[in-house]
Amino acid sequence: MVSSAIVLLIGVLHIYILVLEMFLWDKPAGLRAFGNTPESAAKTKVLAANQGLYNGFLAAGLLWGCWLGADGYAVKTFFLLCVFVAGVFGGMTASKKIIFIQAVPAALGLIALNLA
């Protein structure tokens, strides 16, 4: 039960990231979230939208795993591992805060899923 709630919250977080990257990248909320300037955001808008789409796929997988209930263990595990790897890579290459936004919640989800 707790593990499903954590997975669901991580899925919702990735929908939020999708919205920020695909639709709000060059708007005040997106500029604040990513510490971007309007000029930089204008140059990278297409790349951000692509990132947002990938975050949407992660969200879809996590929500699918929740929808499957107890049968979704493997799906949840796979997508949590994907989020974890993406968070670690993003933390190493883009911003350390990505580790705390993506990798840590995914690790907690994996722990909770395996304790359930």
Angle, helices 2-23 vs 38-67, to 10°: value is 150
Look up the domain containing 67 and give its range.
2-115
State the residue for tokens 């997106």.
30
Is residue 95 classed as helix, strand or coil in its secondary structure?
A: coil
Measure the CA–CA gap between 81 and 87, rounded to whole angstroms. Answer: 10
3 close to 110: Cβ distance less than 8 angstroms: no
Q: What is the pLDDT of residues 51-100, one digit of tens each?
A: 999 999 999 999 999 999 989 999 999 999 999 999 999 999 999 999 99
Confidence of residue 116 (pLDDT cuts 50, 70, 90): confident
Residues above pLDDT 90, as percent of the chain: 97
CB atoms within 10 A of CB 31: 16
Do the Cβ atoms of 6 and 112 come closer than 8 Å? yes
* 101 has a pLDDT exceeding 90: yes
